[in-house]
Chain A
Amino acid sequence: KAGVTQTPRYLIKTRGQQVTLSCSPISGHRSVSWYQQTPGQGLQFLFEYFSETQRNKGNFPGRFSGRQFSNSRSEMNVSTLELGDSALYLCASSPGQGNRETQYFGPGTRLLVL
């Protein structure tokens, strides 16, 4: 099976702009989670989607949003970018049935905000 894919791999934006990141899960996986990784804060949970519904959300401002499509592909959007949004954004997928499941991670999208 193909792994989790994320596009684009790299992005450069300026403050105030918005950005959309895309994630395609492993075939058959219905849960997609998003994480932000920064040197200062480490890996932090953004949100999780299952069957087009957000089941859980981390402690991030409303500028961070996401959605999931009927084919389980997911997008996350960050509006009004700030310098502190520079990070590696990781997407992970799993079948979606519970906490025992392994989350399989994509290679990430590295966002630089100037």
Chain B
Amino acid sequence: AQSVTQLGSHVSVSEGALVLLRCNYSSSVPPYLFWYVQYPNQGLQLLLKYTSAATLVKGINGFEAEFKKSETSFHLTKPSAHMSDAAEYFCAVSAGGDYKLSFGAGTTVTVRA
């Protein structure tokens, strides 16, 4: 079975500051990892995904994440926060051929002007 843990349910950053969202995974087989963003009253939008091709993954809207097997982590970063980054972010894992995503609890990001 696979699972993810997101550290911190709420993160508040100043506009222009670094955004760092933490995700640790557990999987008995090589995982595929995803970050999704959810804006109010909307579905989930893919930010980026790791599928073993490269450990540093670049996504949309200036986000990137680094897969670290030794730390079982897949943290999401953005160098400079923008007001439009205010949303809820979910880390998810897929593994073992069971065709499902297992999500973390989510991290809500607020951006202060």
Q: Is the CB of B43 within 8 A of A56?
A: no
Distance A45 CA – B2 CA, assembled complex (angstroms): 13
Distance A31 CA – B103 CA, assembled complex (angstroms): 19
Q: Is the CB of B32 within 8 A of A99?
A: yes
**Residue A43 at the B interface, CB < 8 A?**
yes
Least CB distance from B42 to A in Å reads 6
Q: Which residue of B has the minimal Cβ distance to A45?
A: B100
B98 CB contacts on chain A under 8 angstroms:
56, 99
Q: How many residues of B contact A (CB 8 A)?
A: 26
A45 CB contacts on chain B under 8 angstroms:
100-102
A108 CB contacts on chain B under 8 angstroms:
42-43
B96 CB contacts on chain A under 8 angstroms:
99
B42 CB contacts on chain A under 8 angstroms:
107-108
Q: Which residues does A use to contact B, with CB under 8 Å? A: 4, 31, 33, 35, 42-45, 48, 50, 55-56, 58, 90, 92, 96, 98-100, 102-108
- A-B CB contact pairs (8 Å), 12 listed: A4-B43, A33-B99, A42-B104, A43-B103, A43-B106, A45-B101, A48-B100, A55-B99, A90-B43, A98-B97, A100-B51, A107-B43
